[in-house]
């Protein structure tokens, strides 16, 4: 049944679809009946230059196999133009895959404002602009699916990628908030942290490892999350690639509860440091409400020992 997932009549916008993961998504959706907007600025992986060729090649490929696709060459920072392409060509938008991305890897010591700003612009502002333009359509039709792209670099940190890591983790907070705002309008929003062979990874991983990391192995999860048969999975973070798919979540240690008064000193915290680090009885917070319960408990405690 899952093999039959189709998207007939739906419009899927894939940003950065001229190569790598985006191309794999676009060709898949095109082969499953969707109208596809193939967006790509066509620059280098460092964000230099632009060209219409990357998007055109993918559009031609989809059309050659009987699919429906149009190209869009705008930067994701002009997300409204990309969504406008979908509306003009197909009259609607159902799925937004925020995938476009670039790298400006450099040690933090040597990082310039330009390295930081460009990464923030493409990943953070780009995802915002595309989702912001799609949102009124999703709300009006009470249907929408958003897939955002984080990265292990954002979730765990990565040497030489402070800018990229910050931008990629932002996708988690952004998308979880969209999930909360969108749920009652049937707008489901999830984040993936993929790993796949692409021009982004070809210089940092050996060829035999890359061989097992085809972008095609990321596509099925994206299809599941983007499909109308997904009616409840939202606000999730999924690690995916090379045949591995797993959900990630926040884990809170047992923690230390302290009375919040003048006895809450550094030494009071140090006295309870084991608890701060104790993951033997974890909890799995999903929002600030869990935290508020803890605060109420803290206020019932006597003052902390000196
Ligand atoms: P890629 O370089 O092959 O694809 C990215 C595409 O985005 C390119 O075609 C590029 O032209 C396009 N693009 C860049 N800036 C753009 C802009 N401003 N507007 C429109 N298009 C733009 O790399 P990929 O590996 O396929 O990466 C896809 C996404 O997955 C990125 O967001 C990347 O950060 C993320 N990611 C990839 C991996 C991996 O292992 N490949 C790991 C973690 C996250």
Backbone angles phi, psi at 125, to 5 degrees: -65, -35
56 conformational bin, left if phi > 0, alpha if psi -120 to 50, beta if neither: alpha
* pLDDT tens per residue, range 191-213: 999 999 999 998 888 998 999 99
Q: Give residue 91's pLDDT band: very low, low, confident or very high (50, 70, 90).
A: very high
Judge whether 196 and 217 are in contact, CB under 8 Å: yes
Which atom number of ligand 1 is nearest to the Cα of residue 18?
A: 9
Q: Which residues belong to the active site?
A: 164
ipTM exceeds 0.85: yes
Segment 239-289, tens digit of pLDDT:
999 999 999 999 999 999 999 999 999 999 999 999 999 999 999 988 776
Please say if the pLDDT value at position 299 is more than 90.
Answer: no
Cα distances (Å, whole numbers) of residue 163 to 48, 113, 227: 17, 10, 32
How much distance in Å is there from the Cα of 6 to the middle of ligand 1? 25
Q: Which atom of ligand 1 is nearest to the CA of 150?
A: 44
> Which of these ranges, 129-133, 231-235, 297-301, has the smallest mean pLDDT?
297-301
Q: Which of 17, 19, 21 to mutate to test the pocket of ligand 1 (most atoms within 8 A of CB)?
A: 21
How much is the mean pLDDT over the chain?
Answer: 95
Q: What is the mean pLDDT of residues 131-158?
A: 98
Residue 4 has a pLDDT of 87
- What is the rounded distance in angstroms from the CA atom of residue 88 to the CA atom of residue 76? 17
**95-98 and 144-149 beta bridge pairing:** parallel
Quick one: tokens of 253? 């240690």
CA 269 to chain centre: 36
Pocket test for ligand 1, best of 148, 200, 244 (most atoms within 8 A of CB): 200
CA distance 210 to 54: 22
The yes-or-no verdict on residue 48 having pLDDT over 60 is: yes
């Amino acid at each position: 049944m899952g093999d039959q997932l189709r998207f007939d009549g739906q419009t899927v916008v894939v940003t950065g679809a001229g190569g790598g993961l985006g191309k794999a998504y676009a060709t898949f959706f095109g082969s499953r009946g969707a109208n596809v907007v193939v967006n790509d600025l066509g620059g280098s992986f460092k964000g230099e230059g632009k060209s219409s060729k990357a998007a055109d090649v993918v559009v031609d490929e989809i059309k050659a196999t009987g699919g429906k696709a149009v190209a869009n060459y705008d930067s994701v920072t002009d997300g409204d133009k990309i969504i406008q392409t979908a509306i003009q060509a197909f009259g609607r938008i159902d799925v937004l895959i925020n995938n476009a991305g670039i790298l400006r890897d450099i040690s933090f010591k040597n990082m310039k404002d330009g390295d930081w700003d460009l990464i923030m612009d493409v990943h953070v502002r780009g995802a915002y602009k595309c989702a912001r333009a799609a949102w009124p359509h999703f709300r009006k039709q009470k249907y929408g699916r958003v897939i955002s792209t984080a990265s292990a670099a954002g979730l765990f940190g990565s040497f030489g990628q402070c800018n990229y890591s910050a931008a990629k983790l932002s996708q988690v907070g952004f998308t979880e908030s969209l999930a909360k705002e969108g749920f009652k309008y049937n707008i489901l929003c999830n984040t993936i942290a993929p790993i796949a062979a692409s021009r982004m990874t070809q210089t940092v991983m050996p060829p035999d490892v890359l061989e097992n990391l085809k972008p095609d192995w990321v596509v099925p999860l994206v299809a599941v999350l983007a499909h109308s048969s997904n009616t409840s999975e939202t606000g999730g973070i999924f690690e995916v690639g090379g045949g591995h798919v797993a959900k990630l979540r926040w884990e809170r240690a047992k923690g230390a509860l302290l009375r919040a008064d003048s006895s809450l000193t550094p030494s009071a915290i140090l006295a309870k440091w084991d608890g701060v680090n104790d993951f033997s009885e974890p909890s799995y917070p999903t929002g600030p409400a869990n935290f508020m319960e803890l605060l109420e408990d803290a206020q019932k405690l006597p003052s902390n020992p000196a």
